Amino acid sequence: MSENNSNSKLDYSLILIIILLAIISVFTLYTLDPYLSQKPLYQNMYLKQMVWYIAGSMVIAVIMMFDYDRFRQVSWLLYGLGVLSLLMLYFHFPPDIAKEVNGAWGWFEFPVLGTIQPAEFMKIFLIIFLAHIMVAHNEKYPVHTVKMDLWLLCKMGFITLIPIFFLLNQPDLGGVLVLVAITACMVLVSGIKWRIILTIFGTFLICFVAAITMYLTNPEEVNQFLYDQELDHVVERFQGWLFPDEYSQGGAYQTLKAMLAIGSGQLSGKGMGDLQAAYQVPEYHTDYIFTSIAEQFGFFGSSAVILIYFLLIYRLIYIALRCKDPFASYMVTGIIGMFTYQVFQNIGMSIQLLPVTGLPLPFISYGGSSTLTYMIAIGIVLSVFYRIKTYMFDES
């Protein structure tokens, strides 16, 4: 079998999807500017978002210059850097740079760069490192046995639990769930026997159902236990999710306001800049930006956004399936897990399908660290696609 040169081309379909999401993001923030400008720090956020996209595009160009396999060589360094940044936040160090926002120590504030959220970059570092561990394990143990599969699972779990520990102490429940989703997706393609995966999944499902049942039957005892563990925010969000009418001024406030904004948009929306309901939703330019889109542009506009996300995930799956290199395929799979979960969680919490967690809507919500993280992820995918090799006599 002879090998041809790599495709040496860009994935214009993926680039077009990202451009569309960038336009939606900047345009939505532009429509919100009259409301956001009432606070000095929130003025011209659509211009700031444009700057982040320009910076992200430059990062993509730099990533494209290098073979994606270089990430495997520095995977330990990247993972260690991510853990070190979370460790510094854990000890609130350095005190003049570590920053607390809404009770969570999750940011560094630099004089020139502005606010940086290490947890966002940790997602990419974890994906790269897990991909390296999976490839190294499968190269060393090409024959899959139950013992070796469990050993790989333990390694992946331990690697993921380290950043999870620090995120739980920030606290950042949304970030924890993203890391779990990334790891779960990568486990599915790791070659671990399906009976092991199904056993673990069934165990988690049983534990989840048991926890919900216990909460519904003994809510006071469960709440007290969570309060003792300093997980007050988890209690409020579950109360708001399960009993929205009873906690309309507490944990359900965001959800009820978000559903009101989405419902008021009806089919075609109220029109650009009309935010009578979404304006009352906290973080309507970041975590709840979907409500701003739904109220202004209605069911048609919000459905168009969901369709674009569907095309994004479809394109990423297509690239992952075309990869002949396991390391590249594993990385793209982790990126798929990251985007899929965040889109589902963000929109789901806005319509009370899921509990509230502080997660931005990828590529649309305002945020420097998150936007750069997503652009880095797309840069990795484009680098993989650019270097996909075709072989003579391959099946079409």
pLDDT of residue 140: 92
pLDDT-derived band at 395 (thresholds 50, 70, 90) equals: low
Which residues have a Cβ under 8 Å from the Cβ of 187 and sit 6 or more positions away?
A: 153, 156, 197
pLDDT in the model for residue 394? 55
User: How much is the average pLDDT of 189-208?
Assistant: 91
pLDDT at 344 (0 to 100) = 95
What residue segments make up the domains of the chain, in order of their start?
3-391
pLDDT of 5 over the 50 cut: no
pLDDT-wise least confident of 88-102, 139-153, 245-259, 308-322: 245-259
Residue 337 pLDDT more than 60? yes
The three-class DSSP label of residue 104 is: strand
Instruction: Please determine, for residue 241, whether its predicted confidence score (pLDDT) is greater than 50.
Output: yes
Q: What is the rounded CA–CA span in Å between residue 334 and residue 184?
A: 9
- For residues 121 and 86, give the distance between their C-alpha atoms in angstroms, rounded to a whole number: 11
Residue 396 predicted with pLDDT over 60: no
Give the per-residue pLDDT at 393: 52
- The answer on pLDDT for 57 being more than 80 is yes
Going by C-alpha positions, the residue among 128, 191, 157, 103 that lies closest to residue 377 is 128
Measure the CA–CA gap between 238 and 215, rounded to whole angstroms.
10
pTM of the model: 0.92
Residue type, 258: A
pLDDT at 240 over 80: no
- Name the percent of the chain lying above pLDDT 90: 57
Quick check: helix, strand or coil at residue 115?
strand
pLDDT in tens, 16-51: 999 999 999 999 999 998 888 877 778 889 999 999
Q: Is it the case that residue 110 has pLDDT exceeding 90?
A: no
Q: What is the pLDDT of residue 4?
A: 45
Q: Report strand pairing: 389-391 vs 114-116.
A: unpaired
Which residues are within 8 A (CB) of 166 and not within 5 positions of it... i.e. 6 or more apart?
Answer: 83, 86, 87, 89, 90
Could you tell me the two tokens for 205? 């499902």
Per mean pLDDT, which range of 79-93, 177-191, 221-235, 276-290 is the poorest? 221-235
